[in-house]
A and B are shown apart, each in its own frame.
Chain A
Amino acid sequence: MPAPDFKKLHKIAYQVRQDVLRMTVLSESGHLAGSFSGSETMVALYFADILRHDPKRPNWEKRDFFILSKGHVCPTLYSVLARKGFFEVQELDEYAKLGSRLQGHPHFAFGSKHNLPGIENTSGSLGQGISQAAGIAIGLKMDGKKNHVFCLMSDGEQQEGQVWEAYTFINHHNLDNFVGLIDCNKIQISGKIKNVLPIRDLKLKLLAFGFRVFEADGHDFADLIKKLKLAKSHERKATVVLLNTIAGKGVSFMENDSKWHSHVPNESEYSQAMKELEIKGKNN
């Protein structure tokens, strides 16, 4: 396997951010802070040979599953899927419009022909993706299949009780084909997580539940790819990767500011943000 082209990945991550910003302004709806904090993670999964997939065969039996649990950052996933060739990039403009396959939070209807290629699950109500991922993982094991299931959550999402039910379940059933990814951007709608409802030492908690835990810099492709590859290596334990990220990463005035959890930029904010993303995308 060729060494990852970090420069190219960086460029894609910033192209994705520009897509997301444009979609957010066009639809007057979106969640920029979390969409930007998770950009490198989703780009790494799809563009750095982590997630086994084929854009031409979205339902390929041998694919790895990507379950987005923090559904509000779906513009990032939509952009990554479009840029990877699952569907036309042009369709991104339909995001959150009436009748669109790109719903404001992802919708997957079993057996429907209207599904957006690459979308595996419905999400939007936090805390549910991990259980869906666990169900897929245990189903694969029942059938003796080797596919992996990745599930991307947020750190604020760890406030949901269901997540902890699922952690117990996953470890009891030895679902070593499960990889949890937690985008730790440290904010939620009302402010800093540490002020709203702190989740304290997540690593310690996850270890106590029985997980193998890795930490990664969520914006450094070298570190990300190394840890994601490690996570995929079976060690008869389920794995969680804690991604240290910056909310709103890439736009100076959005970084680490919870205001941008779901705020839509005005015209001048949009121009400045777009300019910054263009420049940063070119410089690595």
Chain B
Amino acid sequence: MSSTSQIKGNRDGFGKAMVEIAKKDPQMVVLCGDLSDSLKLTEFKKLFPDRYVECGVAEQNMMGVASGLALQGKNPWVVSYAVFNPERNLDQLRTAVYSELNIKVVGGHAGLATGRYGSTHQALEDLAIICSLPYMTAIVPSDYQEALTLSQQLHKIKGPGYLRLSRLAKPNVYEIAINNNIKIYEKELKIGHAQILNQGNDLTIIANGLMLQTAIEATALLKNMGLSVELLNLHTVKPLDETVIINSVKKTKALLVAQEHQLNSGLNSSIAQLIVNNFGTKLNQAIACEFMGVDETFGESGSEEELYQKHSLDKLAFLRKAKLVLAKKKSLA
């Protein structure tokens, strides 16, 4: 049993947000595929039974029904695990997005830390899929507060949106920062804006979701080693906050990106593309880059500690990668 099991995680924040949104918007509805307890919709169901649409384990139909509800002027949230939603029902989502419908998709149990369920329940491709769709806003909250705040903001954005949730509950970012003697530089959480958690000059670290808490711990360790790290919370994967990212790497000339996702896509590829596109205009010097993620393989059963260690997504992996990227920076200078 994880020692963090009593902590409220991002899926709890999402569940709370659904109740808050429903109180304000009478047209808001929630569709779920037989996972309402797991995805923290118990209270929503109790308070708004007429606005909860049970769809059973039939995710393709669920996305289509959500489309029909959106066509009828409702503001639906479509909720299941990310491997089923948007992975199983991509075709139906694609049609909805092409129709510019106001649909919010919630992919739960994303990443490696899904208990011991194994790879069939570990979505590591969802951001690649979501980021390839036009008009999409994609959000990856790390903790309870982020999920609560950003879900409510996402609801106000007309059009398709994606919210990625985790099974594992990690303590709030602020709590982790305080425990690691990091003073949070910028407190505002705003969709589309990369939150600068710590300012620094030697290395930029970009992370989101459950990687963020680890990145804070790594930042503190690197600080103790005399390095000045700029840590960005990139909760919005699409659209990217180009200004903050470019300004940061221009200053540090070294970048480390971490995500609980396939290495070759999602946040990593979006940022790599952003940087390459800016060479010769906003960037006149090469930037040393390293990326972290699951490398050309699937997940498996195991504890989160074991899985993060095996796939080089733990605190020590951050330090190894930081060393590597700083060496690259030195050779580029």
| Residues on A facing B (Cβ under 8 Å) | 107-112, 120-125, 127-128, 130-140, 142-143, 161-162, 165-166, 168-169, 172-173
Contact = CB atoms under 8 A, between A and B. Distances in A.
29 contacts: A108-B71, A109-B100, A110-B70, A110-B101, A111-B158, A120-B71, A121-B67, A121-B99, A125-B92, A131-B61, A131-B63, A131-B67, A133-B68, A135-B65, A135-B67, A135-B70, A136-B72, A138-B65, A139-B68, A139-B71, A140-B72, A142-B29, A142-B50, A142-B51, A165-B56, A166-B65, A168-B61, A169-B55, A169-B56
Contacts of A162: 60-61, 64, 92
Given A108-B99, A131-B92, A162-B92, A139 B60 contact: no
Tell me which of B53, B99, B101 has the highest count of chain A C-beta atoms within 10 A of its own C-beta: B99
Nearest to A108: B99
Contacts, number: 107
A277 B141 CA distance: 61
A79 B113 CA distance: 54
Contact of B98 (A122, A130, A142, A143): A122
Contacts of A168: 56, 58, 61
B73 interface: yes
Chain B residues touching A, range:
20 to 34
B139 interface: no
B64 A134 contact: yes
A235 to B, nearest CB: 22
Identify whether the interface residues of B are mostly helix, strand, loop, or mixed.
helix
B11 interface: no
A108 B100 CA distance: 8
Identify whether the interface residues of A are mostly helix, strand, loop, or mixed.
helix
Contact of B92 (A128, A142, A169): A128
B109 to A, nearest CB: 21
Sorted nearest first, the 6 A-B pairs with minimum C-beta distance are A135-B68, A131-B64, A139-B72, A165-B61, A165-B58, A135-B65
A128 B95 contact: yes
A169 B91 CA distance: 19
A161 B65 CA distance: 15
A131 B99 contact: no
A150 to B, nearest CB: 13
Contacts of B69: 135-136, 138-139
B61 to A, nearest CB: 4
B58 A132 contact: no
A169 B99 contact: no
B241 to A, nearest CB: 26
Contacts of A120: 71
B100 A112 contact: yes
